[in-house]
Amino acid sequence: MNRSALPSLALSLLTTAALAEGGFYGDPPDKTHPWAIHDMNRPQPPRVEPGTFSSQEQPGRPPSDAVVLFSGKPEEIEKWISDKNGEPTKWVVKDGALQCVPGSGYIRTKEEFGDCQLHIEWSAPSKVEGNSQGRGNSGVFLMGAVEVQVLDNYNNPTYADGFASSIYGINPPAANPLRAPGEWQVYDIVFRKPVFKDGQEIDPGYITVFVNGVLTQDHTPFEGGGGHMRRSKAKAFPEKGPLKIQDHGNPVRFRNIWYRPLPKRAVEGGEYSRMSEEATAAKRAEIAKGIREDAAKLEGNAKMLRFFESLCYDENAEAREFATAAVNDFAKAMTAVPADKLESKKGEILQVAKALRYLAQWQFLPADFAPKADLEAIIKVQDWEPKPKKK
């Protein structure tokens, strides 16, 4: 077999096995988790075609869902404006790079966004001039507020909280993985803005940074946003803001700039594994409604089991009434089948019995539920229970 086909085959077999288990498999939903463990009702992750890695000669390709802010085309300068007055920027596009024109001021995107995965590549001048903060200095400002420092720190010491990939004025990087001046440096950033509710901070926000594939900021919390010389304090951020790039007097170049918006966190009502009880109850009701709608399109045992499955998320009198009547009919029909004909019904009986065991175990049905007892009796007489393996 072709080895490259193995992952796809494994996924196919795993999916088939999970589907065969139905909704009666892992621990059910609870007060803060709207989904069961290994829940096939949980939405599948959206497909994103991955991008390609950059080389020194050629920038990589962004993933398919990225919003491209600069890819090297001269006309993309139109996506950026002067931060000072909102007029067209004096920065230039040269050899596929967006280059700072010293003295022209910061630039910012017309596009505004919040939580994101940001990719940006930069290159300090190959001719080394200056030292400390005077050498290859710029900065990337998320939402125009939080600076990830850009600085040529290749054999160039400076104050630690102003080092390349520091959260400026807040936290130094954990390492210095910079390449030599003139080479391209790659920043991959995960940005989460602070969250306030009723004037109180409920999530300080955080930032994670990889430089040339090396982790330099590990879920670093914000302290307001950072700044020069003065300690910043916690503050609320707007919903969206621009990306700014600093003019610090050095002709630093940038390329391959793109971002991916990120979904809401749990504290913002996002669909994460742990939610408030109120949000969880609402989500469970929504899931149950969808399962009932799906069940209505089915027939036979599949319809019955799907209605039973919906009860694991939210109680519904009509769903319970239908499923209970259907399983009563099924159990009566199976008990009427002659013993020598039961083998052909083995799969159906075991499938329904497994579901009823699960529902009784988690108290969605009473332990003495009559159809369950009838099917268990058939299974016992037919000796269908799996035998323990011999040691």
Domain ranges within the chain, ordered by starting residue: 21-44+276-382, 67-268
CA angle 226, 257, 57 (to 5 degrees): 125
Amino acid letter, 364: F
The count of other CB atoms within 10 Å of the CB of residue 287 is 22
How sure is the predictor about 237, in pLDDT bands with cuts at 50, 70 and 90?
confident
Q: What is the pLDDT of residue 18?
A: 41
pLDDT bracket for residue 385 (50, 70, 90): confident
User: Which residues make beta-bridge pairs with 92?
Assistant: 99
pLDDT digits over 122-176, tens only?
999 998 888 889 899 999 999 999 999 999 999 999 999 999 999 999 999 999 9
CB count in 10 Å sphere of residue 82: 17
For the whole prediction, is pTM greater than 0.85?
Answer: no
What DSSP assignment string belongs to 214-231?
EEEEEEEEPSTT--SSS-
Q: Is 63 helix (H, G, I), strand (E, B) or coil?
A: coil
Q: Say if residue 1's pLDDT is above 80.
A: no
Block residue for tokens 């050899």: 95
Token digits of residue 388? 């323990």
Instruction: Write the CB contacts of 299 (distance below 8 Å, at least 6 apart in sequence).
Output: none
Distance CA 378, CA 366 (A): 19
**Share of residues in the chain with pLDDT > 90 (%):** 77
Q: Is the Cα dihedral 357, 358, 361, 366 positive or negative?
A: negative
Q: How confident is the model at residue 270 (pLDDT cuts 50, 70, 90)?
A: low
- pLDDT (tens digit, 9 = 90+) per residue, 338-365? 999 999 999 999 999 999 999 999 999 9
pLDDT, residue 391, reads 64
- Which of 289, 319, 287 has its CA nearest to residue 304? 319
C-alpha angle 264-261-77 in degrees, rounded to nearest 5: 150
Of residues 305 and 16, which shows the higher confidence score?
305
pLDDT at 346: 96
Stretch 253-276: mean pLDDT, rounded?
A: 83
Which of 178, 162, 251 is CA-nearest to residue 213?
A: 178
What CATH number should be reported for the domain whose range is 67-268? 2.60.120.560
Mean of pLDDT values over 226-246: 79
Provide the pLDDT for residue 271.
61
| Percent of the chain that is helix, strand, coil (3-state, to 5) | 30, 20, 50
- SS3 state at 55: coil
